[in-house]
């Protein structure tokens, strides 16, 4: 291959498209804001996660190492976080109130939706991050950061919480161009802000609340961390005080990322992230995604084998869900920074394109199986290489996915036109190698292998044990309260997890069911 192209990206901080120059040459270290796990992720969320995935794949394609961290927010993201003064209910707690009976407790809810997220992530062929930290597992680190900020005079406590003092950070607003004052004045809020806050722009680092469902002890009393401090702490813990790049949807520019910058730079005394990358919001059929206008889709609405909800369009329901790779293709068919309108037509066209790749992959596999003929039937090796190079070049040009997909599809046409049936083994090998390169770059050819998705980790084991314990405890509570329907429901859930529950004179025990 010719020299690797220069990887350029639009940096929201400098408002320019710039070459990415990793701090450690040849090794990109970056953080992507993950979801709040209070419900299933929607296709807009995944458009943002796909931006991170494409950065990772492009960096690898030009020969860099990558360390990628993407968190799970399982506490602290409030329903009013669009305001700089977070008030309102914790999204997780509000979800438990809505879904109540389905879950043993709030940790069970978080685990359920984290698992659903990871399943969707793998179905859409996103590369698993090197670390997927959860906010609730990093509260001690967050408290240490809050204590340091208070000690150095960048934060202060009131009776309701601990706040970052925006006045102490003169650069506040450098990312978004917004220092919040205007936004606050324009907002007619029902919730009452803390009257002891020194400046309306100050944002919460720690919320005092001894009735909250998730609470930890702090020097100021029982409570829970703010959402912004979570990402600052987890980013720097796994990537260092200085790392290369940080991603998120456009709504996170302010206040979330503005606050992260204020925290990181106050904690370290220097700039900590060089490139900020924001994905423009996806719309559906020309409208903001919304349930009331029928333009809201979760990933599983579209890919589940039997989507049942009425709001899922009839063709998708009757087809038994769309190919997850077609959904991925559709979601990356618009460049991440441009307005993007997701339509059922885009999805249909994407499904057609993905089927063309799959037909080539099948032909290649068959030809390799037949193992007949060591000459290619047409000299298209160079053309295919040029089409791959064009796709890579487009990705290096601020992730120009439409141009990359078009270049790759030119390669598909080259193969379809040139190779005679039946393909020789050499044809099969050439196409197989090319498809794998395209797939490494764009992730649109081969479905994620189930083994990768299902590979158990130590964390999964801990989660599973904790879930079982929580369900057993919830079942015992239901039995004690005489709610036998609920107790049976929980037994069924445990049964589906492969757990046999045994009630004896000395209480309830359980064991893994033996399958023969
Ligand atoms: P949340 O779970 O609300 O924290 O969102 C997770 C990620 O999805 C964040 O990076 C959001 O900015 C992003 N996001 C939310 N809605 C959309 C949308 N319609 N289009 C693109 N990204 C979105
Ligand atoms: Zn974040």
Q: Looking at the CA of 81, which ligand is closest?
A: 1
- 469 in any annotated domain: yes
Residue 410's domain spans which residues?
322-442
Output phi, psi for 354, to 5 deg: -65, -35
CA–centroid distance, 249 to ligand 1, in Å, is 5
Choose the final residue of a domain: 279, 313, 332: 279
Please tell me whether residues 326 and 239 are part of one structural domain.
no
CA 211 vs. chain centroid, Å, equals 30
- 284 in any annotated domain: no
Please tell me whether residues 53 and 156 are part of one structural domain.
yes
Tokens standing for 42?
A: 């929607």
CA–centroid distance, 49 to ligand 2, in Å, is 12
Please tell me whether residues 62 and 154 are part of one structural domain.
yes
174 pLDDT exceeds 70? yes
Please tell me whether residues 198 and 67 are part of one structural domain.
yes
Helix (H) or strand (E) holding 234: helix 227-239
Torsion angle of C-alpha atoms 358, 364, 367, 371, degrees rounded to 10: -140
The answer to whether the beta carbons of residues 71 and 34 sit under 8 Å apart is yes
- 296 in any annotated domain: no
325 pLDDT exceeds 80? yes
pLDDT digits (tens, 9 = 90+) for 361-416: 999 999 999 988 888 888 999 999 999 999 999 999 999 999 999 999 999 999 99
Atom of ligand 1 at shortest range from CA of 340: 20
pLDDT digits (tens, 9 = 90+) for 253-302: 999 999 999 999 999 999 999 999 999 999 999 999 888 888 899 999 99
pLDDT digits (tens, 9 = 90+) for 16-31: 999 999 999 999 999 9
DSSP string, 21-66: --SBTTEEEEEE---BTTS--BHHHHHHHHHHHHHHHHHHHTT-EE
pTM: 0.86
- 480 in any annotated domain: yes
CB atoms within 10 A of CB 261: 25
CA distance 149 to 264: 10
Atom of ligand 1 at shortest range from CA of 250: 12
Residue 300 gets which letter from DSSP? H
Q: Which residue has the CA at smallest separation from atom 14 of ligand 1?
A: 45
DSSP string, 478-513: HHHTT-HHHHHHHHHHHHHTTEEEEEETTEEEEEEP
- 351 in any annotated domain: yes
Output phi, psi for 509, to 5 deg: -125, 170
Residues in contact with 97: Cβ distance below 8 Å, sequence separation at least 6, in sequence order: none
CA–centroid distance, 44 to ligand 1, in Å, is 6
CA–centroid distance, 86 to ligand 2, in Å, is 15
Please tell me whether residues 39 and 145 are part of one structural domain.
yes
Nearest to 324 by CA among 341, 342, 305, 343: 305
CA–centroid distance, 81 to ligand 2, in Å, is 12
Q: What b/e readout covers 190-210, taking b as 16+ CB neighbours within 10 angstroms? A: eeebbeebebebbbbbbbbbe
CA distance 28 to 244: 6
Please tell me whether residues 133 and 274 are part of one structural domain.
yes
Tokens standing for 481?
A: 């309260």
Which residues have CB under 6 Å of ligand 1? 33, 35-36, 44-45, 47-48, 248-249, 251-252, 279, 281-282, 289
Choose the final residue of a domain: 408, 442, 476: 442
Q: Looking at the CA of 273, which ligand is closest?
A: 2
Which of 70, 90, 249, when mutated, tests ligand 1's pocket best, judged by the most ligand atoms within 8 Å of its CB?
249
391: left (phi over 0), alpha (psi -120 to 50) or beta: alpha
Q: Looking at the CA of 77, which ligand is closest?
A: 1
pLDDT digits (tens, 9 = 90+) for 422-439: 999 999 999 999 999 999
Looking at the structure of the chain, the number of domains it has is: 3
CA–centroid distance, 33 to ligand 2, in Å, is 4
Residue 75 gets which letter from DSSP? S
Please tell me whether residues 493 and 386 are part of one structural domain.
no
Q: Which residue has the CA at smallest separation from atom 7 of ligand 1?
A: 45
Q: Looking at the CA of 117, which ligand is closest?
A: 1
86 pLDDT exceeds 60? no
Atom of ligand 1 at shortest range from CA of 248: 10
Atom of ligand 1 at shortest range from CA of 283: 19
């Amino acid at each position: 291959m010719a020299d690797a192209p220069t990887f350029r990206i639009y940096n929201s901080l400098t408002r320019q498209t710039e070459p990415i120059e990793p701090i450690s040459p040849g090794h990109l270290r970056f953080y992507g804001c993950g979801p709040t796990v209070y419900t299933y992720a929607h296709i807009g969320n995944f458009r943002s996660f796909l931006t991170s995935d494409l950065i990772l794949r492009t960096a690898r394609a030009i020969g860099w190492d990558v360390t990628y961290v993407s968190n799970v927010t399982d506490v602290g993201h409030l329903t009013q976080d669009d305001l700089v003064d977070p008030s309102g209910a914790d999204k997780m707690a509000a979800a438990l109130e809505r879904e109540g009976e389905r879950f043993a407790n709030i940790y069970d809810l978080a685990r359920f939706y984290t698992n659903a997220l990871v399943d969707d992530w793998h179905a859409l062929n996103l590369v698993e991050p090197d670390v997927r930290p959860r906010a609730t597992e990093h509260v001690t680190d967050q408290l240490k950061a809050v204590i340091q900020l208070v000690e150095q005079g960048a934060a202060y406590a009131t009776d309701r919480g601990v706040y970052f003092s925006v006045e102490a950070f003169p650069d506040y607003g450098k990312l978004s161009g917004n220092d919040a004052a205007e936004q606050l004045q324009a907002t007619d809020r029902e919730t009452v802000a803390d009257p002891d806050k020194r400046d309306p722009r100050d944002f919460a680092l720690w919320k005092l609340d001894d009735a909250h469902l998730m609470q930890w002890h702090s020097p100021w009393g029982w409570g829970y961390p703010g959402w912004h401090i979570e990402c600052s702490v987890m980013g720097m813990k796994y990537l260092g005080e200085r790392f290369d790049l940080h991603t998120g949807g456009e709504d996170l520019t302010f206040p979330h990322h503005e606050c992260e910058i204020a925290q990181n730079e106050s904690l370290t005394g220097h700039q900590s992230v060089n490139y900020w990358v924001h994905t423009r919001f996806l719309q559906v059929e020309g409208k903001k995604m919304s349930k009331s206008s029928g333009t809201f889709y979760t990933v599983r609405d579209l890919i589940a084998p039997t989507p049942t909800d009425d709001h899922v369009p009839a063709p998708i329901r009757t087809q038994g869900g769309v190919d997850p790779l077609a959904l991925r293709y559709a979601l990356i068919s618009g460049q991440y920074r441009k307005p993007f309108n997701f339509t059922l037509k885009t999805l249909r066209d994407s499904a057609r394109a993905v089927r063309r790749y799959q037909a080539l992959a099948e032909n290649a596999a068959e030809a390799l199986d037949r193992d007949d003929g060591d000459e290619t039937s047409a000299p298209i090796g160079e053309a295919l290489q040029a089409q791959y190079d064009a796709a890579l070049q487009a990705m290096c040009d601020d992730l120009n996915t439409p141009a990359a997909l078009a270049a790759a599809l030119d390669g598909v046409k080259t193969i379809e036109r040139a190779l005679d049936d039946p393909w020789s083994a050499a044809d099969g090998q050439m196409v197989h190698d090319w498809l794998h390169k395209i797939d490494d770059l764009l992730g649109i050819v081969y479905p994620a292998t189930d083994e990768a998705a299902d590979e158990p980790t130590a964390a999964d084991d801990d989660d599973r044990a904790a879930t079982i314990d929580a369900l057993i405890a919830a079942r015992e509570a239901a039995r004690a309260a005489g709610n036998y329907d609920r107790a049976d429901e929980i037994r069924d859930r445990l049964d589906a997890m492969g757990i046999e529950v045994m009630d004896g004179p000395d209480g309830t025990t359980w064991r893994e069911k033996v399958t023969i």
